Chain A
């Protein structure tokens, strides 16, 4: 039997670990390159997943178990520094001065979280009671009670949708897709933890695209009394006591609205990762106008990049939920398998 063909996966988050495990299971010689000290990606920081409310750690554990079972080579704390194109093959050079040959490459470098300080009018990192959905998720994961910066129980909390998404001023035209349902999930979690608190969601459109998501929205209204106001936050200002004054238009009643709240949660969107952009340069790949990597065909070949032999998995191609990322990674494994079989 000939030597197994070599695959290099760049990025060891949800997509990268799943596609690597599957390809190793199929008998390929897989090497996973991860820039951080451990694999798992942003999933490691999430507390619970929508729509089931299952601890994110369970899914992370499942992925990790598969990684261990299939024992492929993982190189952590390493970047890709250079790529040499051969005839249907690649030579990948790492920051650790390794030279790795590959018959196929998977890019699974994922997304970055929108930098909320860019929306200056919302006061993130200026006002201490303005946090992002990622900060909140990390706090929920740590199991600490949610308090204001002064350590008090917040009585009124506002979730702000579409921060850094659908915003041309930030250069992001796209909808990040997962923030609407994340907002509903987190608002519900806070309502459970702080039953006395009043919780408001300020939205432009609520995009409950997944089958069970609409029920979550309904439950948030029916069971947890979360209130939804259709209007985009225009600005937040801090009062002397650390509370925040927020302004929006209540577009459905057609009047400007102001509200004093104890805590503001900005639902930050997904932007193409810096590493994704770097890979696009190294591998000379086409990108969409929104910066995510372009797929060969948006209907039929969603795992193929604009370069033969370079495959894409996960959120480097656009915003996705954890479940969708897993599906995308699995289809990538199958596509690569077909490609290498026929090579």
Chain B
């Protein structure tokens, strides 16, 4: 094994030119209420999972919109679908449906990319 040399470091910046919006667009089409999130964080504050483990449901929206899909599948598995987030959402977003669509979409996305 080569113990020295150069290592390519991936740039940290969000590369909008490489943005793959397929998954996002599909979710927005099937659950249009997801468009109107204002990132208030009410969902995350009330989330049962989020108080105990590193899980931020508000950030999912951001990650999707920035095309940061890697790791999203593992992330949404932390959701217990209790729906408390929907009770506090000031814009009435159907968050549970977003999670379900995301779960389905990620499977499809993976299959298409193989």
Contact = CB atoms under 8 A, between A and B. Distances in A.
Given A204-B38, A231-B40, A251-B40, A168 B45 contact: no
A254 B45 CA distance: 10
A249 B58 contact: yes
Interface string A195-235: 00000000011000000000000000000000000111111
A248 B58 CA distance: 12
A298 interface: no
Given A166-B90, A249-B58, A235 B39 contact: no
Complex A-B, nearest 6 residue pairs according to Cβ-Cβ distance, in ascending order: A249-B41, A232-B40, A249-B44, A251-B41, A234-B45, A234-B46
B90 to A, nearest CB: 4
Quick one: which of B40, B47, B56, B58 has the most chain A CB within 10 A?
B40
A248 B51 CA distance: 11
A247 interface: yes
Nearest to B39: A251
Contacts, number: 66
Contacts of B44: 249, 251, 256
B88 interface: yes
A169 interface: yes
A232 B42 contact: yes
Contacts of B32: none
B105 interface: no
A244 to B, nearest CB: 14
A231 B41 contact: yes
Interface in B39-92: 39-47, 50-51, 56, 58-59, 87-92
30 contacts: A121-B88, A166-B90, A168-B90, A168-B91, A169-B89, A169-B90, A169-B92, A204-B40, A231-B41, A232-B40, A232-B42, A232-B88, A233-B42, A233-B45, A234-B42, A234-B43, A234-B45, A247-B45, A247-B46, A248-B45, A249-B42, A249-B43, A249-B45, A249-B50, A249-B58, A254-B59, A255-B56, A256-B47, A256-B50, A257-B45
A98 interface: no
B40 A256 contact: no
Quick one: which of B39, B42, B46, B50 has the most chain A CB within 10 A?
B42
Interface of A: 121, 162, 166-169, 204-205, 230-235, 247-251, 254-257
B45 A231 contact: yes
Contacts of B56: 249, 254-255
Contact of B41 (A168, A169, A232, A235): A232
Quick one: which of B45, B88, B91 has the most chain A CB within 10 A?
B45
B92 to A, nearest CB: 5
Nearest to A252: B41
A231 B59 CA distance: 13
B92 A234 contact: no
Given A166-B38, A249-B50, A249-B58, 18 more contacts: A121-B87, A121-B88, A168-B91, A205-B38, A231-B45, A233-B45, A234-B45, A235-B46, A247-B46, A248-B45, A249-B56, A250-B41, A251-B44, A254-B56, A254-B59, A256-B45, A256-B51, A257-B45
Nearest to A173: B91
Nearest to A205: B38
Given A249-B45, A257-B45, A168 B40 contact: no
Contacts of B89: 169
Nearest to B50: A256
A162 B38 CA distance: 13
Nearest to B56: A254
Nearest to A167: B90
Quick one: which of A169, A205, A249, A250 has the most chain B CB within 10 A?
A249
